[in-house]
Structure 1
Amino acid sequence: MAARGEFSSRMGFVLAAAGSAVGLGNIWGFPTQVASNGGAAFVLVYIVLAFLLAYPVLMAELIIGRYTRSNMVDALGKISGSNIGRATGVWGFVTVSLILSFYALVAGWMLSHFLQTISDMLGQDAISTWLVSSSYTRDILFCGIFLCLTASIVTGGVKQGIELWSVRLMPALFIIIVLLIIYVSTLDGAVEGWKAYLLPNFSLIMDPDLLISAMGQAFFSMSLGVGTMLVYGSYVSKKENLPTLGASVALVDIGVAILAGMLIIPAMYVALHNGVKIFSDSGALIEGPNLIFAVLPSLFETMGTVGVYVAFVFFALMIIAALTSSISMLEVPVAYVVESKGIERKPAVWALTLLVFIISSTIAFNMGSLFGFVIDLTTKYSQPLLGLVLCIFAGWVWKRDQILAELKHGNQQVEHSIFWKIWPWYVRFVCPVVIAIMFYRSITA
């Protein structure tokens, strides 16, 4: 069997792992959560909870991955010494494949809106109308194109695929966000958006709903529980200091989410100033697909000629964010099929891509009943439960001396560090309880 891949540099890993964490949710979910939950008060709670809850679970995945040098199924089988571990790995494999199947549909919509900006520039009105009109043909075609883009990167393996493209795409994502922030901030109405984003309403800071929302955002934005970080961790060199590496990933992810807020919230208030409706009937800010495919395109239209170019850059940003996440999702099942079943990487990648495409097509043909159902099943129920099980494996099942020995590879003095004094008991007692409470609140809300 071919040697396992490995990230060639620390920067390559941090950008790939942060790319996995930085997805469409950061760009449309985080900003509206902030604006609806006390502005900067939410940002503050989110940052605290990202390190109190998401970072310890992220570390559990990275340590398990590097220690076992395996895909999720084999890794959890090794540390648990039982079929329960392997079954959990299969559960993660199925969950991440389902997430990718609906994610590819949304990314396909991003792709069609991106191409619409080009057809607008060329004056092809009929093509533009088709590109932004919902239809099975459009949805399935662009979902397929997006999945092919994802697969073509993953076929290159770790160094020549995932790392090579993450190192290109992530800096591009940062540059595009910053340029758009600068431009949007010069427009009328942006100041109101900055106020909504940056002025904290501290009376909300202990609101249970705000805490649950911030906890959920912190947990899901780092793509935890489904094995992406575990698999990426398995490609990290033994020489790396894992706690600092994990902290770098968390900081980049938080940074992108905060930057996205600096772009989206002022842009929404610019839209409001230009006569676009940005609040729903209940008074909450519009979020999710309606924000991306209704509010912001309406804003771009009010900008005149320059709006087409701003839309072009914005949807390019959305495609990059989607791609950096989708390559990590596809790598989870690919790593399993290549390592456990002995199939060559290229056919494994394309066979699994076809399988995901079939699931995506099934969702597209049953959009009303399946789309929301699959999203809830995976992100609301499956992901937090997988995170809970990972904490139990790392805190209760896996031998502590093996964990310490693994961490010592990158830092001989790690047992005297604050990380080692806190993390083992924290992931054992605090994280499972907090995740369980969050899960209970989310399903009873």
Structure 2
Amino acid sequence: MQNHTSGDNSGKGHSKAERFSSTGFILTAIGSAVGLGNMWKFPYITGKYGGAAFFLLFIVCLLIVGLPVLLAELSIGRGGRGNPASSFFRLSNSKTWGVLGFISIVVPFLILSFYSVIAGWTIHYAVISFSNVLYESSDFTEHFNSFAASNLPVVWQIVVMFLTGWVVAKGISGGIEKFNKILIPGLLALLVILMVRALTLPGGMAGVDFFLRPDFSKLSTESVLVALGHAFFSLSLGMGTMVTYGRYVERQQSLGAASLAVGGGDLIYALIAGLIVFPTSFAFGIEPGQGPGLVFMALPAAFSAMPLGSFFGGLFFILLAIAALTSAVSLLEVPVAFVMDTWKWTRKKATIFTATACGLIGIPSALSVGGILGGYTIAGKPLLDFVDFVCSNILLPMCGLIVTLFVGYVWKKAGEEAGLSSFWFRIWMFVMRYIAPVLVVLIFLYSAGVIGFK
């Protein structure tokens, strides 16, 4: 490919030296995939759709859709050595595909604008849990509502954007990679500590039984689409992050092996998250299907009744904060890389500009959950929920479809870049041409509410 290195010197702060080490890349990609949604969404949907039966279905969906699309995004990034827009353009020599790639730059910017708000909540809750302020009253719903109605969410959102920008500004090896090499092992340690604590709670094993007992009668067409959607979104697909990270991957790195490692890391995190949430919920009679409400309103009640509850509660929210920050870093890197490439800015200047713009755009979302903008809705949804819905249910599947069609039908040297044998290449191409596009469209139709099941 003639354009492999054509993007390496775009931007003063964007030199050829910006490359991941092999281990650093895998940990960083896992950090991007591991996010807040897995902690409250995956256990809930697993329990709802058949426990271990759904978990097995999720693994199948990860193999059929998640990993092939992940490999495609990484290959596009390393092949084009640019941001999503420039990589799509270089590999196709088509401005149309460059424009389509640009959508994958807008999406993470919009996601980070509200994701940073929720990440801020986790840091706030970690602080007030360790200090025991959270447990001074037993009305945790009122505690959250009063917090959301104040200006503190904006303050914590700014803190998150500052921390995220600080990491990204330090570059790939000196910032993003070093950050993930410290935090991902730390995340695993916290997961294990909290899992052991949850499994030793009186009544906790009933939650494990509910989580992991296979009930194949609950599997349905809907459960397949839910598993497909979660396999797709839990790997950070469709948001330009894996394309952008792919540009920093060394030639000798096996993208196939890396994809398997990232998928495995995502799977382990989801499993341990379930072994924390369900035993804790069952031990204290909490309904586990409450989404974000489970984390900020229900689980604090469990921690308050637990020996050393403020300590374990603090660890839990630190765990969430780490998961949120590693994802936030990957989200910010996408538009920062684009700004560096387009305007030839240094990394520091591009990061300050992008993080500031994203933070300002996110302030209305921070004030929309009970704050002064709480009464303002778009399509019946508070601003934060509306932006989340548009990104998650419309733009992400659209970007995923663009990737599958590009690799399946447009980019002729995809297999060469992916480094697959002829056997695996034929399977990959079949998936990218005929299976993944159809399934991504079905995910989109289901997520957007166009098709549904009673």
Question: So what's the TM-score if we normalise by structure 1?
Answer: 0.91
SS at structure 2 position matched to 1:317: helix
Q: Which residues of 2 match residues 117-132 of structure 1 at below 5 A?
A: 117-120=129-132
Aligned to 1:250: 263
Once the two structures are TM-superposed, the CA of residue 167 in structure 1 deviates from its matched residue by 0.6
Aligned to 1:381: 394
Counterparts of 2:211 and 2:418 in 1: how far apart (Å)? 39
Count of matched residue pairs: 423
Counterparts of 1:5 and 1:266 in 2: how far apart (Å)? 46
Matched, 1:320 2:331: no
Q: Which residues of 2 match residues 218-297 of structure 1 at below 5 A?
A: 218-272=231-285, 277-278=286-287, 285-297=288-300
Aligned to 1:192: 206
Query: Is contact 1:6–1:237 with CA below 8 Å preserved after alignment?
Result: no
Aligned to 1:301: 304
Counterparts of 2:241 and 2:16 in 1: how far apart (Å)? 16
Amino acid at match of 2:311: Y
Query: Is contact 1:112–1:131 with CA below 8 Å preserved after alignment?
Result: no
Query: Is contact 2:66–2:232 with CA below 8 Å preserved after alignment?
Result: yes
Counterparts of 1:225 and 1:419 in 2: how far apart (Å)? 23
Query: Is contact 2:157–2:366 with CA below 8 Å preserved after alignment?
Result: no
Mark the CA change 1:151 to 1:298 in structure 2 (over 3 Å): closer, same or farther: same
Mark the CA change 1:59 to 1:407 in structure 2 (over 3 Å): closer, same or farther: closer
Q: Which residues of 2 match residues 107-126 of structure 1 at below 5 A?
A: 107-120=119-132
Counterparts of 2:125 and 2:245 in 1: how far apart (Å)? 31
Once the two structures are TM-superposed, the CA of residue 136 in structure 1 deviates from its matched residue by 4.0
- Give the one of 84, 99, 115 matched to 1:72: 84
Q: Which moved more, 1:18-27 or 1:366-375?
A: 366-375
Query: Is contact 2:74–2:243 with CA below 8 Å preserved after alignment?
Result: yes
SS at structure 2 position matched to 1:200: coil
Q: Which residues of 2 match residues 31-110 of structure 1 at below 5 A?
A: 31-110=43-122
Decide which structure has greater helix share.
1
Matched, 1:404 2:410: no
CA deviation profile, 1:252-299 (whole Å, cap 9, x unmatched): 111111111111111111121xxxx42xxxxxx423210100111111
Mark the CA change 1:130 to 1:375 in structure 2 (over 3 Å): closer, same or farther: closer
Amino acid at match of 1:287: Q
Amino acid at match of 2:173: K
How well do the aligned residues superpose, as a CA RMSD in angstroms? 1.9
Mark the CA change 1:146 to 1:132 in structure 2 (over 3 Å): closer, same or farther: farther
CA deviation profile, 1:350-399 (whole Å, cap 9, x unmatched): 11111111111122334442111101100011101110011111111111
Aligned to 2:436: 431
SS at structure 2 position matched to 1:134: helix
SS at structure 2 position matched to 1:265: helix
- Give the one of 196, 201, 207 matched to 1:182: 196
Question: So what's the TM-score if we normalise by structure 2?
Answer: 0.89
Amino acid at match of 1:312: G
Aligned to 2:151: 137
Counterparts of 2:130 and 2:392 in 1: how far apart (Å)? 34
Counterparts of 2:133 and 2:290 in 1: how far apart (Å)? 28
Aligned to 1:415: 421
Mark the CA change 1:182 to 1:21 in structure 2 (over 3 Å): closer, same or farther: same
Counterparts of 1:427 and 1:216 in 2: how far apart (Å)? 16
CA deviation profile, 1:111-146 (whole Å, cap 9, x unmatched): 110110233279999xx9699722341110001001
Unaligned runs of 5+ in 1: 279-284, 409-413
SS at structure 1 position matched to 2:302: helix
Counterparts of 2:261 and 2:275 in 1: how far apart (Å)? 21
Query: Is contact 1:150–1:323 with CA below 8 Å preserved after alignment?
Result: yes
Aligned to 2:380: none
Unaligned runs of 5+ in 2: 1-11, 378-382
CA deviation profile, 1:22-80 (whole Å, cap 9, x unmatched): 00011111111111111111100001101101111101101110011111110111123
SS at structure 2 position matched to 1:147: helix
Aligned to 2:4: none
Mark the CA change 1:243 to 1:202 in structure 2 (over 3 Å): closer, same or farther: same
Amino acid at match of 1:199: R
Once the two structures are TM-superposed, the CA of residue 223 in structure 1 deviates from its matched residue by 0.7
Counterparts of 1:131 and 1:111 in 2: how far apart (Å)? 16
Mark the CA change 1:111 to 1:300 in structure 2 (over 3 Å): closer, same or farther: same
Identity of matched residues, %: 34
Amino acid at match of 1:44: L
- Give the one of 342, 350, 355 matched to 1:353: 355
CA deviation profile, 1:325-348 (whole Å, cap 9, x unmatched): 000000000011112210111111
Counterparts of 1:46 and 1:287 in 2: how far apart (Å)? 21
Mark the CA change 1:117 to 1:203 in structure 2 (over 3 Å): closer, same or farther: same
Counterparts of 2:320 and 2:403 in 1: how far apart (Å)? 30
